[in-house]
């Protein structure tokens, strides 16, 4: 079910549990600001989720409230993950669903990183 991105942060969301180590994940990259792991239900040959370590519901929450260090750290981590996976030359797509109309399902900010084949049009028509 899509989440209301204006609600307060829910400490019991699935990505909070992953960050606390309560649920396993296939980690691709981790540093002080971000964790990257394979999506459990991949929509492309490469489908990695990158999440900030801080408790932010969505892009809106993060962009409004995160510190400069958190924002810089997270953005750099997304770029590094793509670079380390060799995705810059073939290309990749980033996506951050935010709120109901976007169909965000997990209320902890995550950037989807899709790659590994031509990705087609941006949105279903
Ligand atoms: P959203 O629709 O919120 O942008 O995307 C949520 C994503 O999280 C989906 O692509 C879904 O497959 C993924 N996901 C949901 N639960 C888990 C989980 O427990 N582990 C992993 N690795 N991915 C998950």
Q: Is residue 88 part of a domain?
A: yes
Scored b (16 or more CB within 10 A) or e, 83-118 reads eebebeeeebeeebbbbeeeebebbbbbbbbbbeee
**pLDDT, position 125:** 80
Tens digits of per-residue pLDDT, 80-124? 999 999 999 999 999 999 999 999 999 999 999 999 999 999 998
- Closest ligand 1 atom to Cα of 3: 3
Q: Is residue 8 part of a domain?
A: no
Q: Which H/E stretch holds residue 76?
A: helix 68-84
Tens digits of per-residue pLDDT, 28-69? 999 999 999 999 999 999 999 999 999 999 999 999 999 999
What does the block give as tokens for 50? 């990158």
Full-model pTM: 0.98
Domain of residue 77: give its range.
14-115
**pLDDT, position 124:** 85
Q: Is residue 123 part of a domain?
A: no
Where residue 1 falls among pLDDT bands split at 50, 70, 90? confident
Q: Is residue 5 part of a domain?
A: no
* Ligand 1 center to 110 CA (angstroms): 9
Task: Report how many domains make up the chain.
Answer: 1
Instruction: List the CATH number of the domain containing 84.
Output: 3.30.428.10
Out of 38, 103, 110, 112, which one is annotated catalytic? Answer: 110
Pairing of strands 46-52, 27-30: unpaired
Q: Is residue 90 part of a domain?
A: yes
47 is catalytic: no
Q: Is residue 71 part of a domain?
A: yes
């Amino acid at each position: 079910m899509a989440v209301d991105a204006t609600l307060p942060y829910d400490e019991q969301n699935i990505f909070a549990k992953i960050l606390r180590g309560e649920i396993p994940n296939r980690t691709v990259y981790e540093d002080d600001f971000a964790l990257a792991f394979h999506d459990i239900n991949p929509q492309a040959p490469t489908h990695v989720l990158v999440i900030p370590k801080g408790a932010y519901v969505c892009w809106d929450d993060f962009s409004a409230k995160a510190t400069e260090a958190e924002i810089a750290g997270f953005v750099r981590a997304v770029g590094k993950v793509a670079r380390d996976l060799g995705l810059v030359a073939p290309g990749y797509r980033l996506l951050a669903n935010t709120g109901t109309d976007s169909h965000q399902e997990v209320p902890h900010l995550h950037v989807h990183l899709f790659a590994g084949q031509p990705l087609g049009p941006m949105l279903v028509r």
